[in-house]
Structure 1
Amino acid sequence: MSYLKGLLSWCSAAKPPAAKILRRNVRFALDERIPRYWYRDWPHVTRFFDGLSIMFPLGEKLFIDSVTHFRTEIETDRSLCNAVEAFVYQEAAHIREHRLYNQLLAAQGAPVEALEQLLLRRQEVGNRFTPATRLAMTASLEHFTAILSDQLLRNPAVLNGADSRMAMLWRWHAIEETEHKAVAYDVLCRVVRNPLWRYLMRCGVMLIMTAYFAVDVLYFIYQLAGTDGQRRNWRGWARLQWWLFVNPGPLTRAFPSWLAWFIPGFHPDKLDNSEALEAARRRLDEFAEPKP
């Protein structure tokens, strides 16, 4: 019933002001001092985050390419062009920091290169689709990262017990995913003018992207667990499921926002978490000052 109430509220909610997309110069000290299992010494939950990190450099490069492909078509909209430029800046920073993160994983023996090759093969298939379809893929995955980021910012339990440096890295990433969550969607609305076709495209793409994302995340965790000798740690697998779906349950709690994508009047800015975003920004201030 609470899911239904949450969905219904999206149908009438006014669109709140978009978050300002800040350009930050953030650097994290990611070195051998980071514990192997930096999340409460829990291997499988740690590897959930680590698996996402391996996905990000190639995935966010794809996001940048799919959005900037349409620069000439949005050049008359100065506000949107500025948002795209800030989006590119933030995503480039994510690529840089997660490459350092992934180098740390590779030094631990994680099969980072092999998993990236899997992603490259997936992207080769994706390149066969039209630029508009690839943009819809980006908008869908940006919504996915935004609703997971929303859970990380709203629910302190998601990062409770994590190494402080890694917790701040993930909090920073969540802040910026929240700030630019509407950019790809707004470009999609600008370049795919037919609202019915755009709606059908984004809904179909979201279903496909969700399936691939779920399978890939599970496969990445499985491969990383193999490197750790943790594949038969059934207690660890059970703890991961409990963590994902029960307590703190980020996937379960994010489900209503995922469903909201399928509402015809959906817009990413209707996911209003401005209070949690501002609180997280204040915690980040000690690491970096935003550029003007």
Structure 2
Amino acid sequence: MTSSAHHAVESNSADPGPVELHARNVSFDFSQVPLHWIPGHPVPSNFVSVLNLLLPEGERWFVQTYGEALPLVRDPELAAAMRGFIGQEAMHADAHDHVLWEFLDHHGVDPRPFVAQAEWIFRKVLAPMDDGSPEARHKHLVERLWLIAALEHYTAILGDFALNNTWVEHDADPTMTDLFTWHGAEEVEHRAVAHDVAVYFGDSYLRRGRAMLVALPVLLFLLHRGFRFIMRQDPSLDMGFCRQQYHYFCGVHAGVLPKMRKVVMSTFSYFRPGFHPSEIGSTAQAVAYLASSPAARNAG
């Protein structure tokens, strides 16, 4: 079934309501995946591959922060959702970490310099507060939880794109397609958890807005920096900025890349009073893909 047909079927499915979150074992073999894994779209292939540079450290930070917050949660339902979220994010970090070495490094793109920078950001800049009063440390934790909620807004949007793009129609490599679609489906499945956790710890429109005003520019900066990092090391592509932009917009037009304008505009919905992440994507579609994911079935 093509991804567009898959979307048409699942979009009409009844939403199953709340689902119990759990980590799924997955198994991927990247040894035969070409660097330009979307045929005819080398620049979009590299652009999506940037996520492999960012995700392992970022998701380990999510896990660490939630591990810090979980003992403070007295709501058993929310605590169960947090445990499911932690398990899924830990599995995502592990899967994308394999891509760094078995895919990027294998193709001559050395991820070490970028990984070192990501480690500095997530392990130093965004680390828990070591000193200060208990009140100050708690406030610092709440600010980090809202930053995770802001970042998860974008992972949900990108997850919805992963479920509804044209990679299959363009004969993209099935392993890399499954990696990002499995990951995207779980992002849609747990899209409300980070927001609900942040609200539980400190429902504040000011905190919510402040976190988003930090998250969006940092995310765009890291994506741009990661893209330039991969393009400089790609031995087969030697093109200037204008040609890169041309290939990027061709990828958007073909449906193999999300429209960045749409991603940025979605920020405004986040600021709308009453907004809830459950408005993004379809749980039914996400769960249906997760039941059929080749990597999950192979591991099972």
What's the TM-score bracket when you normalise by the shorter of the two chains?
A: 0.7 to 0.9
Instruction: Say yes or no: does 1:22 pair with 2:29.
Output: no
Matched position secondary structure for 2:297: coil
Measure, in 2, the Cα distance between the counterparts of 1:27 and 1:263: 39
- Following the alignment from structure 1 to structure 2, what is the Cα–Cα distance between the partners of residues 30 and 109? 14
Aligned: 1:284 with 2:293: yes
1:120 deviates by: 2.3
- Which runs of structure 2 are paired with 1:97-108 in the superposition (5 Å)? 97-103=95-101, 104-108=103-107
CA displacement at 1:125 relative to structure 2: 2.3
Equivalent in the alignment of 1:228: 234
Letter in 1 for 2:270: W
Identity %: 26
Residues 1-292 of structure 1: pairs in structure 2 closer than 5 A = 17-31=17-31, 33-74=32-73, 76-103=74-101, 104-123=103-122, 124-127=124-127, 130-153=140-163, 155-158=164-167, 160-161=169-170, 162-192=172-202, 195=203, 198-229=204-235, 230-233=237-240, 234-244=242-252, 246-248=253-255, 250=258, 251-284=260-293, 287-288=296-297
State the shift of 1:231 in Å.
4.9
C-alpha displacement at 1:68, in angstroms? Answer: 2.0
Give the CA deviation at 1:78: 1.1
Say which SS state the counterpart of residue 39 (structure 1) adopts: coil
Match of 2:8 in 1: none
Q: Does the C-alpha gap of structure 1 residues 98 and 257 become closer, same or farther in structure 2, counting only changes over 3 Å?
A: same
Instruction: Give me the whole-angstrom Cα distance separating, in 2, the residues matched to 1:35 and 1:285.
Output: 19
Counterpart code for 1:51: V
Q: TM-score, normalised by structure 2?
A: 0.81
Range with bigger deviation, 226-235 or 86-95: 226-235
| Structure 1 unaligned blocks of 5 or more | 1-14
Give how far 1:150 is off.
0.9
Given that residues 46 and 227 in structure 2 are in contact (C-alpha distance below 8 angstroms), is that contact kept between their aligned partners in structure 1?
A: yes
CA distance in 2, matches of 1:265, 1:205: 17
1: CA distance between counterparts of 2:191 and 2:238? 35
Tell me the equivalent position of 2:3: none
Q: Give the TM-score normalised by the residue count of structure 1.
A: 0.83
> Deviation at 1:223?
1.2
Runs (4 or more) in structure 1 with deviation over 4 Å come to none
1:88-127 Cα offsets, whole Å, 9 max, x none, are 1111111111111111211222131100112123232233
CA offsets 1:130-149 (integer angstroms, 9 cap, x no match): 11111111111111111111
Query: Structure 2: which 5+ runs fail to align?
Result: 1-14, 130-139
* 8 Å contact kept, 1:83–1:183: yes
Counterpart for residue 10 of structure 1: none
CA contact (8 A) 2:27 2:299 kept: no
Inter-CA distance 201–158: structure 2 relative to 1 (3 Å threshold): farther
Distance in 2, matches of 1:30 and 1:289, equals 14
1:48-86 superposed Cα distances (whole Å, 9 cap, x missing partner): 121111111100011111222111221x21111111111
Q: Distance in 1 between matches of 2:167 and 2:262?
A: 11
CA drift at 1:36: 1.7
Pairwise CA distance, 1:207: 1.9
